[in-house]
Amino acid sequence: MIDLAGFALAVLIIELTPGPNMAWLVTLTLSEGRRAGLAAIGGVAAGLAANAAVSVLAASLILAQGDGLTQVMSVLAAAMMGWLAWEAWRDAGESSPAATPRPSEDRHAMAGFVINLLNPKSALFMITVMPQFVASGQPTFAQGLTLAAISVGIATAIHLALVLSAGHVRAALMAEARARIVRRVLALAMLGVAVWFLAKAFG
C-alpha cells in the first residue's frame, strides 16, 4: 500500500518553498519570454524524471538487502527533511542556475536537464524519503516509479504556474520579508515530517 496523498503533500511542501530555482524561471521568462521559460521547464522535468528513475532503482536495490535497513532509511529520511528544513529556514533554497543562461531555448532546456539530473538533493530525497510512504518500507520498482511520477508532476505543475504568471510572481519573490515568512513556515512543516519519520523509526 502506498500513501500517495502523504507523499504528494511532502513533495508539495518542498516545491512551494521559495528558492533560486523559482527566481531563475521567473527571470528567464521575463527577460526572454514564455517560450524560453517553457523550454527550461521541459529540461527540468526531463532531468528530474531521469534523476528519480535512477534513485528509485538505487532505493529498491538497497532496501532489498534486508528488513533492518528500513529503520536506518527512516532515520536518514528524517535527517534529509531536517536538512531541507534548515536550508529553508536560513533562506539557502535549492540548487539552480545562478544566472540566466545565454539566449537559446536549447541551452535553457539543457541547463535545466543537466542541473536536475545531477542534483544530489533530489536523489537523496527519493532514496530516503520515498520508502517512508510505502507500507512495507520496501517499495518495488513499480511503486517507486509511481511516486517518482507524482514528484515530477507536482514540480512541473508548480514550475508551469511560475512561468505563466511570471509578472505577478516576481513581485512576490522580491518582497523578501514575505518570502522569508513563507520559507520558515514551510521549514517548520518539513521539520514536522522529520519528527514523524523518527517516530516511525523508533516507534
Strand partners, 2: 134
Residue 134: phi and psi, rounded to 5, are -115, 130
Residue 102 has pLDDT above 70, yes or no: no
Contact 1, 140 (CB under 8 A): no
What's the rounded mean pLDDT across residues 16-43?
A: 85
Q: Of the given ranges (53-57, 114-118, 177-181), which has the lowest mean pLDDT?
A: 177-181
Closest CA to 27 of 97, 110, 94: 97
pTM: 0.85
> Of 1-5, 95-99, 133-137, which has the strongest mean pLDDT?
1-5
pLDDT at 200: 80
